[in-house]
Amino acid sequence: MSTFLHQVFSGLATGGIYASVALALVMIYQATNLINFAQGEMAMFSTYIAWSLINAGVPYWLAFLITVTVSFIGGMVIERVIIRPAVKRSSLLGVVIVFIGVLVIFNSLAGWIFSYTIKSFPSPFPEQALFNNTYVSSHELGAIITTLVVLGILYGFFRFTPLGLAMRAAAQNPVSSRLVGIRVGWMLALGWGLAAAIGAVAGMMVAPMVYLDPNMMQGILIYAFAAALLGGIDNPWGSVLGGFIVGVLENLIGAYLFGTELKLSVALILIVAVLVFKPTGLFGKVLVTRV
């Protein structure tokens, strides 16, 4: 029982990471109908920024804040400078290629600047487990709470602020949005900024568990894809739930069924299965295309 609970809790911790990245993917997908293949590498690079700051003696939470801010701005810049012109002039294939190009550039840039050797990344949470329990480590608990706080802030932002409302409107109906005066282009950039910032938090939370290296986020991105698809890629809260489900599922399957050797294949099968059998995911909207 104790191992089972332990598996569930640590599943929730990684699930929170998947949920965050999935949410970032969904935000961009909702606004632009594009899948950001570079989301993982952007988050990885953000984590390296945090690592450099912390190594330079900046206190953890200040480094955290700076990283989130820098990532936010970086995300907006990438959208405006690289992605938008590609969307304007190119087919879907071209845009996908640009995404892969961004992915590759971030990956190699990280390798170039920080080398490919793995680095340990500090956790801001105490080393000792809360009440010395054996189910969940402090970092796992902290990561879960951090994820929930981030999600809570985002929920509040989208639900209760005019800007959040405008972003939702712009994603849904750009033409009408312009007619009420929303600067739709900026909303897209803002969405990218937020996605990058969320990714940065996810990266900083996962790095203490898996160590930091340029390929850190590859597997996580695949799981986040699976989560987003499972929850419904047009439903932010469904994808968050999908993240937690996938996280727990991954741990249980690893512990009781196949072992961890085929982790990624499980995610692959999940992705293909959802896409083929239930493309709307568990909580997605059913869209009817008219010919």
Quick one: which segment of 59-67, 69-77, 218-226, 236-244 binds other proteins (CB under 8 A)?
218-226
Strand partners, 119: 212
CB burial of 121-143 (b: ≥16 within 10 Å; e: otherwise) equals: bebbbeeebeeeeebbbbbbbbb
Nearest-angstrom CA–CA distance, 196 and 202: 10
What DSSP string describes 192-210? HHHHHHHHHHHHHHHHHHH
Quick one: which segment of 103-111, 123-131, 144-152, 190-198 binds other proteins (CB under 8 A)?
103-111
98 touching other proteins, by CB under 8 A: yes
Burial of 231 (0-12, 13-18, 19+ CB in 10 A): buried
Nearest-angstrom CA–CA distance, 200 and 5: 28
Between CA 73 and CA 27, with CA 243 as vertex, the angle to 5 degrees is 35
Cβ closer to other proteins: 104 or 149?
Answer: 104
Cβ closer to other proteins: 4 or 211?
Answer: 211
Applying CB under 8 A, among 222, 240, 245, 248 the residue interacting with other proteins is 222
267 touching other proteins, by CB under 8 A: yes
181 touching other proteins, by CB under 8 A: yes
Count of residues making up the chain: 291
Quick one: which segment of 47-55, 129-137, 145-153, 255-263 binds other proteins (CB under 8 A)?
255-263
Binding to other proteins (CB under 8 A): which residues in 121-180?
162, 165-166, 168-169, 172-173, 175-180
219 touching other proteins, by CB under 8 A: yes
Nearest-angstrom CA–CA distance, 194 and 23: 10
Contact set with other proteins (CB under 8 A)? 34-35, 37, 82, 85-86, 89-90, 92-98, 100-105, 107-112, 116, 162, 165-166, 168-169, 172-173, 175-184, 218-219, 221-222, 225-226, 229, 261-265, 267-268, 271-272, 275-276, 279, 291
